Structure 1
Amino acid sequence: MSKSLLIISRQAPWSGPGARETLDIVLAGGAYDLPIGLLFLDDGVFQLFAEQAPKALQQKDLTANLQALPLFGIEALYCCAHSLGERGLGQTPLALPAELLDTSALQALLARYDQVITL
């Protein structure tokens, strides 16, 4: 049986290639039927919002990659509620169906996965 893997994405979509590379890793794992969860933490929560303007910053749009997650079997999506609140985004609707987690739920989530990678 495959070990479960939690990927933590901490980079904003416009901060460079990090967010895109993280999504590429998640999609590749999904293609191999690995049990993967994806947690958006810190500035990574910005990836969950629609209507971004990546071209203004000469970045590529991550929307297609994010929308492909369920097609690759990645349905365990999580978002840190504290990170949203710190960035004034607590009431903004998310573009993806990510489960909002408080601090204690985050600790339980980390304990549930066999391996955790932070990018």
Structure 2
Amino acid sequence: MAKSLLVISRQAPWSGLSAREALDVVLAGGAYDLPIGLLFMDDGVLQLNQAQDATAVQQKDLTANLKALEMFGIEDIFACGKSLAERGMFPGNLNSAVRQLPQEQDISELIDRYDHVITI
């Protein structure tokens, strides 16, 4: 049986390559039917903002990568509720189907469900 993997994305979409790399890891895992989940925390939740403008920083928009998650069978997508609230983001403002985890205990329980965890 394949080992499960949780990728925790903590970087803002335009702070470097980390945000794109996290999505690439998840998409690659999905392509090989690996049981995989994605958790957005800290500035990583900014990747979920509908109002992103990649042209302002002369980079590619990550929205297409987020939309591809569903095509690759990635359904376990989560966001830290505290991180969303600290950045004034609400579920209605997100550009992806994300389950909000309101408590730190919920995040600990999520991490415990996976065999491997990568923080990017």
Q: TM-score, normalised by structure 1?
A: 0.95
- Which is worse superposed, 92-101 or 1-10? 92-101
Q: Secondary structure at the match of 1:56?
A: helix
> Which stretches of structure 1, 4 residues or longer, exceed 4 Å deviation after superposition?
none
Q: Distance in 2 between matches of 1:13 and 1:74?
A: 19
How many equivalent residue pairs? 119
Match of 1:16 in 2: 16
Partner of 2:49: 49
Q: Deviations over 1:16-73 (max 9, x none)?
A: 1111111111101100000000000000000111131111011110011110001011
* Contact 1:16/1:59 (8 A) holds in 2: no
Deviations 1:55-101 (A, max 9, x none): 10111100111100010111100000011112222465211111100
In structure 2, give the amino acid aligned to 1:71: M
Match of 2:97, SS? coil
Is the contact between residue 5 and residue 35 of structure 2 (CA under 8 Å) also seen in structure 1? yes
Query: Unpaired runs of 5+ in structure 1?
Result: none
Query: Secondary structure at the residue paired with 1:14?
Result: coil
Identity in percent: 61
> Does 2:120 align with 1:95?
no
C-alpha RMSD over aligned residues: 1.2
**Residues 91/2 of structure 1: CA separation in 2 closer, same or farther (3 Å cut):** closer
